[in-house]
A and B are shown apart, each in its own frame.
Chain A
Amino acid sequence: DIVMTQSPDSLAVSLGERATINCKSSQSLLYSSNNKNYLGWYQQKPGQPPKLLIYWASTRESGVPDRFSGSGTGTDFTLTISSLQAEDVAVYYCQQYYTTPPWTFGQGTKVEIK
C-alpha cells in the first residue's frame, strides 16, 4: 500500500498570512502515460464531512477559492492557502488514487488561527 505522510501535523497562521501543508507519498503518484499526478486534497471543517478541494495535484474543484493552490509532482506535494481566512480553519488531508485499492490518506494537518 502507498503510505501518505503529511507535515506538519498542525500549524497556526495569522489571518491573511500564507499556510503551507506538505504531503509525501511512499512511491511516485505520477502516471507517465498521461503525465498526471493522482493526488487529491480535502478540507474537513469541524463537524462536517470532507470536501474535495483539489484533484490531479493542482486542479481546483469548481467553487474552491483561488487562494487554495496545489503543487508538486512524483512523491512531494504541497497545498498552499495564500491568504488565510477565518473560514479556512479545518483539517486538511491529502489522498493518493494512483494505486487502488486501497485509497490511502495522509494523517491530516490541522490549520488554526494564530
Chain B
Amino acid sequence: QVQLVESGGGVVQPGRSLRLSCAASGFTFSNYGMHWVRQAPGKGLQWVAVIWYDGSNKYYADSVKGRFTISRDKFKNTLYLQMNSLRAEDTAVYYCARGGEPILTGPLFDYWGQGTLVTVSS
C-alpha cells in the first residue's frame, strides 16, 4: 500500500535552515508528481510546493518562493524540502502528498503522509 513518511522536523531559530524528507513506498515514485502542504497550529491547509514526476518543473507558494526548495531522489524514492531563512510564520505541520493521476482523479492529492512538525522560535 502507498506509504509516505515524513521526517526532519523540529525546533529551529528564525533565520536558520531545515531539510524535510518524505520516504515513499508502495508505488512507482518516479511516475507521480509530489507536493508539500502545511498546516499551522489550529489553522487550515496551505499548499507549499510541487515537483513534477520527473523533476522537470517545480512551483512554490508565494509565501515560500526564494526560501524553500523542493527536490526528489528517484533512487532513494524520497522527496525533500529545503527550508532556508525560516520565519515564525513557517511554524506548521508539513505534509508530503502524492499528486493524483491526471486522468483518474485529476491533479489533486490522493495520499498524504502523517506530517512532521516544524517550530520556528527563538
Is there an interface contact between A52 and B109, defined as CB atoms closer than 8 Å?
yes
Is there an interface contact between B107 and A101, defined as CB atoms closer than 8 Å?
no
Residue of B47, B110, B114 near A52 (CB, 8 A) is B110
Is there an interface contact between B112 and A38, defined as CB atoms closer than 8 Å?
no
CA distance A111 to B105 in the complex (A): 25
B40-60, CB under 8 A of A: which get 1 and which 0? 000011110010000000011
In the assembled complex, A108 has its CB within 8 A of some CB on chain B: yes
In the assembled complex, B14 has its CB within 8 A of some CB on chain A: no
B residues at A contact (CB < 8 Å):
35, 44-47, 50, 59-62, 95, 100, 105-115
Is there an interface contact between B100 and A55, defined as CB atoms closer than 8 Å?
yes
B113 — which chain A residues lie within 8 A by C-beta? 49
Is there an interface contact between B108 and A49, defined as CB atoms closer than 8 Å?
no
A50 — which chain B residues lie within 8 A by C-beta? 45, 95, 109, 112
Report, nearest first, the 10 A-B pairs whose CB atoms are least far apart.
A49-B112, A101-B59, A103-B47, A55-B105, A40-B108, A105-B45, A97-B108, A108-B44, A107-B44, A97-B107
Q: Chain A's nearest CB lies how many Å from the CB of B68?
A: 13
Interface residue tally for chain A (C-beta within 8 Å):
26
A residues at B contact (CB < 8 Å):
36, 38, 40, 42, 44, 48-52, 55-56, 59, 61, 93, 95, 97, 100-108
Known: A49-B112, A50-B112, A51-B112. A97 touches B106 (CB 8 A): yes
Is there an interface contact between A55 and B108, defined as CB atoms closer than 8 Å?
yes
Is there an interface contact between B44 and A100, defined as CB atoms closer than 8 Å?
no
CA distance A102 to B50 in the complex (A): 9
Is there an interface contact between B115 and A103, defined as CB atoms closer than 8 Å?
no
CA distance A101 to B107 in the complex (A): 11
Is there an interface contact between A104 and B47, defined as CB atoms closer than 8 Å?
yes
A59 — which chain B residues lie within 8 A by C-beta? 105
Chain A residue with the shortest CB-CB distance to B46: A105
| Among A42, A101, A106: residue with most chain B CB under 10 A | A101
